[in-house]
Amino acid sequence: MSEQERPAVRCRELAYSFHRGRGKGPVVRAVDGVDLEVRPGEVFGLLGPNGAGKTTTIRAITTLLPTARGMVEVFGHDCAAGRTEVRRLLGYVPQALSADAGLTGRENVALFARVFDVARSERAERVAQALAAVDLTEAADRMAGTYSGGMVRRLELAQALVSAPRLLVLDEPTIGLDPIARAGVWERVDAVRRATGMTVLVTTHYMDEADRHCDRIALMDRGRIRALGTPEELKARVRAEDPAQDAPTLDDVFRHFSGRALADDAKEGEFSDVRRTRRTASRVG
Amino acid sequence: MSAAPVAPQAESAEHHGSGPELGLLLVPPRARTGWRVVPARVLAMCTVELQKLRHDRTELYTRAVQPALWLLIFGETFTRLKAIPTGGIPYLDYLAPGIIAQSAMFIAIFYGIMIIWERDSGVLTKLLVTPTPRAALVTGKAFAAGVKAVVQAAVVVLLAAVLGVGMTANPLRLLGVAVAVVLGSAFFSCLSMTIAGIVLTRDRLMGIGQAITMPLFFGSNALYPVDLMPGWLRAVSRANPLSYQVDALRGLLIGTPSHLGLDFGVLALSTAAGITAASALLGRLAR
């Protein structure tokens, strides 16, 4: 199989456990046997409530968590055996707002150009193109601390794009943003994806976004994938299995496959998950 | 590099809808390999540190207050007391290199707090997902702390010169001073990052930082000659990299007898050990 034909991401029996409460509490299986294949060029959504295992799955794919050999591959490169090769293919936007407030937008992007070995001769131009791709050219020389939440997210996108990644990984990229800013972030993601053909792996709470922007989605709950397919396929399965649902939404799909509503997530999830989500939402808002 | 969290203002839509030129974003950069990786990452981290200092010099000024007080109050008073045998040189001159080392150490010993802050704000996570080996990332951070300390040391040197401390103007010796400050700060920042990797929280690191700073300072030759110390404290001083840094700074700046080969050797080995330990524990912060 050529590199172009290999899955962008392949997880086989991905599992990860940790001790609740920094090693003192009981063992929690955050991810419990996830099998997943993301096709090159698609926008793949990982959906689920707090504590579903989405972020842990993303952390395994981005090499932040140790995995066994053969468990996770990115474009055929094993995340356990070839971490550096995998990282060269990744652009990553974590859930927390991670732009540095003490630097300008341009300096924030230039840092990532440097750590991805962009040659000095093309660094300024490449940084300018990344900023232009997310509509931040005019604000590029302002301190990132003066940016709005949506602009910070777009700046983080520029940081991820400057190395021409083949797989863009977005962990809750629109959490806490207002609808206009959410639309702005997605507009740039869609435009860049159309222009570059890169694969996008995104986690989100927002079912409407997943419905509109994702080619395929996986619904996660309590460490496992409960359903996987295109939004239309999943809705069709619900219609077939439950004739009372004649026009199901993705919320209905989640309820059908997990047995509970997505809105119940306020009661679920590790303390750290909920804290991270609320901290990001509060800083964005 | 610190990561003061971005506190965004209200959303202002900034969309133009035009199709920008993306040509370069379609081509991955050519990867550096082998020995070129570490110097490139060190340069990247140091550049960021200098950019931040350029944007906000408040820290530089506020951190100059404490060494100024040590030199002005402690130094001037003990110079008059003549209580500490310094081999014939004024006590203020004897003290100045110790205060340079101390002010650099005080910055570096809390560097781990920045790492925890970067972990909390997502900056560290993002850097760990770049093709940067952990040792290169830690080395970059350590030398960035060193660059910051050199700028700080320059302020203290100027301050000491204003107070009449007779110091060398030999550029080679001043270069040696910069190297000693960078190595000392690199070691203490690695010590701090190592502790950060063990305790994982800012509050614990603050407590430990406070607890070890003064013993490291008083258990060195920064304020008084080692010969004055009781035997057990002499042993502590011999195991304390700060003593070797002060010895080198004193020899280079004031011209007192020193052991430059041993001093730089110990500082370099300590830094290498610090980088190894901090790199091994860095991953714990990302989980």
The 10s digit of each residue's pLDDT in A115-128 is: 999 999 999 999 99
Identify the residue among A108, A115, A168, A188 best suited for mutation to test binding to B, counting B beta carbons within 10 A and taking the highest.
Answer: A115
Give me the pLDDT at residue A275, please. Answer: 61
Domain assignment of residue B93, yes or no: yes
The mean of the pLDDT values for chain B is 88
Work out whether strand A216-221 and strand A224-229 pair parallel, antiparallel, or are unpaired: antiparallel
B35 to chain A nearest CA, in Å?
13
Does residue A181 or residue A72 have the better pLDDT? A72
Domain assignment of residue B17, yes or no: no
pLDDT band for position A3 (50/70/90)? low
pLDDT band for position A108 (50/70/90)? very high
pLDDT band for position B87 (50/70/90)? confident
Residue with tokens 């924030």: A108
Record: contact B133-A145, CB cut-off 8 A: no
Number of domains, chain B: 1
Domain assignment of residue B23, yes or no: no
The 10s digit of each residue's pLDDT in B9-20 is: 444 434 444 566
Domain assignment of residue B16, yes or no: no
Residues of A in contact with B200 (CB under 8 A): 22
Record: contact B52-A102, CB cut-off 8 A: yes
CB B66 within 8 A of CB A136: no
Give me the pLDDT at residue A270, please. Answer: 55
Give me the pLDDT at residue A24, please. Answer: 66
Q: Which of A17, A18, A54 is nearest to A36 (CA)?
A: A54
| Residues 93-152 of chain B whose Cβ lies under 8 A from any Cβ of chain A | 120-123, 125-133
The 10s digit of each residue's pLDDT in B116-149 is: 998 888 899 999 999 998 998 999 999 989 998 9
Give me the pLDDT at residue B64, please. Answer: 85
Domain assignment of residue B10, yes or no: no
d(C-alpha A272, C-alpha A262), whole Å = 19
Token pair of A223 as six digits = 């460490």
B228 to chain A nearest CA, in Å?
45
Identify the residue among B15, B21, B25 best suited for mutation to test binding to A, counting A beta carbons within 10 A and taking the highest.
Answer: B25
* CA angle, residues A205, A206, A209, in degrees to nearest 5: 135
Q: What is the mean pLDDT of residues B69-95?
A: 87
DSSP line for chain A: --TTTS-SEEEEEEEEEEETTTTTS-EEEEEEEEEEEEPTT-EEEEE--TTSSHHHHHHHHTTSS---TTTEEETTEETTT-HHHHHHTEEEE-SS--S-TTSBHHHHHHHHHHHTT--HHHHHHHHHHHHHHTT-TTTTTSBGGGSBHHHHHHHHHHHHHTT--SEEEEESTTTT--HHHHHHHHHHHHHHHHHH--EEEEEES-HHHHHHH-SEEEEEETTEEEEEE-HHHHHHHHHHH-TT-SS--HHHHHHHHHSS-GGGGGG-S-HHHHHHHHHHHHHH-
Q: Which domain does B232 fall in, by range?
A: 35-285
The 10s digit of each residue's pLDDT in A131-149 is: 999 999 999 999 999 999 9
Give me the pLDDT at residue A84, please. Answer: 93
Which residues have CB under 8 Å from A69's CB, separation 6+? A78, A80, A81
Number of Cβ pairs < 8 A linking chain A and chain B: 188
Is the predicted ipTM greater than 0.95, yes or no? Answer: no
Q: Which of B113, B154, B118, B100 is nearest to B45 (CA)?
A: B118
Give me the pLDDT at residue A22, please. Answer: 59
Record: contact A116-B131, CB cut-off 8 A: yes
The Cα-based distances of B104 to A91, A137, B47, B187, B212 in angstroms read 36, 38, 19, 11, 15
B186 to chain A nearest CA, in Å?
20
Whether the predicted pLDDT of A10 surpasses 90: yes
Record: contact B6-A101, CB cut-off 8 A: yes
Does residue B13 or residue A220 have the better pLDDT? A220
The 10s digit of each residue's pLDDT in A27-69 is: 888 899 999 999 999 999 999 888 889 999 999 999 999 999 9
Residue of chain B with shortest Cα separation from A60: B287
Domain assignment of residue B159, yes or no: yes
- Please return the burial class of B66, using the count of CB atoms within 10 Å of its CB with bins 0-12, 13-18 and 19+: middle
Domain assignment of residue B28, yes or no: no
Min mean pLDDT across A102-111, B33-42, B271-280 is at B33-42
Record: contact A114-B28, CB cut-off 8 A: no
Identify the residue among B48, B114, B126 best suited for mutation to test binding to A, counting A beta carbons within 10 A and taking the highest.
Answer: B126
From the list A62, A125, A135, which residue is nearest B15 (CB)?
A: A135
Give me the pLDDT at residue B3, please. Answer: 43
Domain assignment of residue B14, yes or no: no
B11 contacts chain A (CB < 8 A): yes
Q: What is the mean pLDDT of residues B249-267?
A: 95
DSSP line for B151-181: HHHHHHHHHHHHTT------HHHHHHHHHHH
Whether the predicted pLDDT of B78 surpasses 80: yes
From the list A117, A133, A145, which residue is nearest B29 (CB)?
A: A117
Give me the pLDDT at residue B8, please. Answer: 42
